[in-house]
Amino acid sequence: MNILDKIIEHKKQEVADAKSKISLAQLKDSEFFQRKTFSLKESVKSGSGIIAEFKRKSPSKGIINDKAAVLEVAKSYENFGASGISILTDEIFFGGNLQDLMKVRNEISIPILRKDFMIDEYQFYEAKTNGADVILLIASCLSPIQVQEFTELSHELGLEVLLEIHTEDELEHFNKNIDLVGINNRNLKDFKVDLQHSVDLKNQLPKDVLSVAESGIYDLKDYQFLKEKGFDGFLMGEYFMKNENPGSKFEEFISNVTK
């Protein structure tokens, strides 16, 4: 069993536990459930395109930064020009939680992506009720039909969808209602990074689809290469989070990008 399979197995139990504690009716009663969400799609088109991530750890890297405060980092990301903020909400494997979303939501005015392994309708209501604007659908965890159904549900809740793909076969998960397509430069099964593979996949998408390069962007050269190849957005986390002050590292990076 690879790491992705382990995560999904644990996620099923996690969702079942959450359902037993908080009902859908209770989720819908949240102060955030009726709020008008921000559009990541529009923010990427009009801004820097960088979706800066808050991530404490990962299965491949272990602890990345377990000292930084989510609110402080999120505010810095916004202040220095991020188009959106990605927050990991998986606790066991990535050190995140839904409370991180709640802490940030009323303090910033840019879109928040709930980054997690979405396998059940319940999680979409969780995302909405905790202040998310966008959710991630990982093609390797879902069937094309599930992607279509979850996209429809997301839009009913006012949430946008970032579909993440890794392989050519996963291109068939795309449907015209998807808001953005993320192409993960890192293979989730063996964690190898291949930027050219991502470019090849991007070139097979419809021309009008907003594309987001995800993971494995380790320096300015990686960013520039992907930008030149036509990517609209860039989901970056480890590059900033591995520093003691992620916001300061983001400021440095964005200043070099705009030179």
Query: Catalytic pick from 140, 184, 198, 211?
Result: 184
- Cβ-contact 180, 40 below 8 angstroms: yes
Query: Catalytic pick from 14, 53, 170, 238?
Result: 53
Verify whether residue 175 is a known catalytic residue: no
Verify whether residue 249 is a known catalytic residue: no
Task: Tell me the C-alpha distance between 13 and 257, whole Å.
Answer: 42
Verify whether residue 53 is a known catalytic residue: yes
Which runs of E-coded beta strand occur in 34-140?
Answer: 50-54, 57-58, 62-63, 84-88, 112-115, 134-138
Tokens of 58: 């990962």
Verify whether residue 164 is a known catalytic residue: yes
Query: Catalytic pick from 14, 198, 215, 238?
Result: 215
Verify whether residue 31 is a known catalytic residue: no
**DSSP string spanning 202-234?**
HTTS-TTSEEEEES---SHHHHHHHHHTT--EE
* Cβ atoms < 10 Å from Cβ of 172: 12
Tokens of 49: 């395109």
Verify whether residue 184 is a known catalytic residue: yes
The amino acid at residue 180 is L
- Cβ-contact 234, 53 below 8 angstroms: no
Query: Catalytic pick from 164, 170, 202, 238?
Result: 164
Query: Catalytic pick from 115, 128, 202, 249?
Result: 115
Query: Catalytic pick from 14, 78, 160, 214?
Result: 214
Task: Tell me the C-alpha distance between 102 and 84, whole Å.
Answer: 16
Task: Tell me the C-alpha distance between 188 and 232, whole Å.
Answer: 22
Query: Catalytic pick from 55, 128, 202, 249?
Result: 55
Verify whether residue 177 is a known catalytic residue: no
Q: Cβ neighbours of residue 33 under 8 Å, at least 6 residues apart?
A: 27, 128, 129
Catalytic residues: 53, 55, 115, 164, 184, 214-215
